[in-house]
Amino acid sequence: MDFKNILTEALSSASGLDKEAVADMIEIPPNSEMGDFALPCFKLAKTMRKAPHVIAKELCEKLGSLEGFSRIETAGGYLNFFTDKTAFAKSVVDRVLREGDKYGCSDEGRGRNVCIDYSSINIAKPFAVHHITTTVLGNSLKRIYDHLGYHTISINHLGDWGTQFGKMIVAYQKWGNKETIENGDSTRELVKLYVKFHEEADKDPSLNDAAREAFHRIELHCPEEWELFEWFKKLTLKDVARTYDLLGITFDSYNGEAFYEDKMPAIIKELEDKGISKIDNGMTIVDLSEYDMPPCIIKRSDGSTIYATRDLAAAKYRHDTYNFCKSLYVVAYQQNLHFRQVFKVLELMGYDWAKDCVHVNFGMVNMEGATFSTRKGNVIYLEDALHILIDKALEIITEKSPELENKEEVARQIGVGSLVFSVLYNGRIKDYSFSWEKSLSFDGETGPYAQYTYARSCSVMRKAGGFDRENIDYSVLSDDASKALLRAIDALPEIIEQAAEKYEPYLISRAVIDICSCFNKFYYDNRIMDDDMTVRNARLALTEAARTAIRVGLFLVGLEAPERM
């Protein structure tokens, strides 16, 4: 039984408003004593020309009684709806048991494609901790959109173009050793060369000229430089695969900046032909002053292109190739202006799909005050951070559960999950300071807490050995703890939709913690393995529903759900 839909239909008929407007107005009260659903009537006062409390009273009289609801009450300007507890419990548990891991799935995205550009690592540079947000945020959005029926295309837009590769080639030719690089940790060896280049260039600026010339030779596909460039890329992708494996992340495309090298001339010509670009001090620009933005540079005075040129080419290629309904760019907020400019230029080019390009920006993460600079060599590799967390998790598990089988595997799930959950527990735009100790806590609003709660629910179901799904007496689930848990589980599908609409996975992380908190209270307040088999069966059914909802939520934010801890 879809209680919100029943309510929406009835209120739409009684008020004369369209269903979508009514659905947007319906709220879930913070306290169940105030009802299971509520309609605040304040927004209606202006159009209906009546006081909110009068509107609430009139609507209450028009509605009378509703299927599945035990009563309707007014409270000032609010209309509060109380569901029939047995019907509500049956509706929630039945749906979760029926849908399983597809709980909250929908077909809203059927036949529609969503491109998601995230992670976007740099070739020959470290996969550092500060890449964690774009990587796990993008991965979570991919899973959320998949869950809602969309076909997603995950894109790792590699940073594989620019003068830095000329620097790498000069450094390798002067100080590099192929055997050392291939037999060691390749990317770290390349970073050492990059750091050495900048140290030496401070003393000998002519090295920068040599680097520019080396990159120009890459642009010309000169055999020696092009072969080294491709080699750097191959080595980097091999190294970063270890980190992506730890995170459980894969991509459909690794087309980076270099891929669009031969596609930029057409964009530049189109801008010229449509009279959108102009020459200014030798540069090709698009004047955006009337939109309160500085000019978007298309070509520098030396004829070289920049990020904007490549992003314009990439946007058109993605639309032509994938026909997306949305194209998301999961990139830090420092690039706000860049994407405003790119999207505006696409709009000026006449592409109505420019409105479907979205910059999903986010704040910065630091590791308890650490700062990062590849040039200076002071970086924390993401792989190292993950292994530190895994090792710490193993120490905790060994102390708490010394007899646990597969401790190493569980430690990996907890250690990796602790970092991912920490990053995705707050609104994405906020800067975030990561705490090693707090993230691994099994108490509070953390990944390990959610995973431990899931393992607890699994333990209950193992001990029970199953339950009778066909004969559940839902009237048993009428105590406060059961009702709170049912409400938390029931909220998840709508929260998943909100997370997609707002590009905010943290909403799901918070919902998971809410379900876990409610389950633990239910666990302590009720004897699940009750001697009364009717009571036991109903409580096991609710436990299974909670277990499923937690697992679904954890998966959507990128965490694994260990069954034993």
Average pLDDT over residues 157-182: 91
- How big is the chain by its Cα radius of gyration, in Å? 28
What pLDDT is attached to residue 349? 98
What pLDDT is attached to residue 372? 47
What pLDDT is attached to residue 368? 59
What pLDDT is attached to residue 366? 76
User: Could you give the percent of the chain with pLDDT greater than 70?
Assistant: 98
User: Could you give the percent of the chain with pLDDT greater than 90?
Assistant: 77
Integer Cα distance of 72 and 64 in angstroms: 8
Q: 484, 474, 510, 476: which is closest to 495 by C-alpha?
A: 510
β-partners of residue 296 are 286
**Can you read off the two tokens belonging to residue 345?**
């230029």
Integer Cα distance of 484 and 401 in angstroms: 30
What pLDDT is attached to residue 378? 55
pLDDT digits (tens, 9 = 90+) for 316-356: 999 999 999 999 999 999 999 999 999 999 999 999 999 99
pLDDT digits (tens, 9 = 90+) for 242-273: 999 999 999 999 999 999 999 999 999 999 99
What pLDDT is attached to residue 183? 83
Whole-prediction pTM value? 0.92
Judged against a pLDDT cut of 80, whether residue 555 lies above it is answered with yes
CA separation (Å) from 223 to 228, 229, 296?
9, 10, 33
Instruction: Please state the φ and ψ torsions of residue 278, each to the nearest 5 degrees.
Output: -150, 165
| Cβ within 8 Å of residue 126, ≥6 positions away | 187, 188, 191, 374, 379, 381
Average pLDDT over residues 534-547: 98
| Cα maximum dimension of the chain | 86
Judged against a pLDDT cut of 50, whether residue 162 lies above it is answered with yes
What pLDDT is attached to residue 374? 46
Average pLDDT over residues 293-313: 91
**How is residue 18 annotated by DSSP?**
-
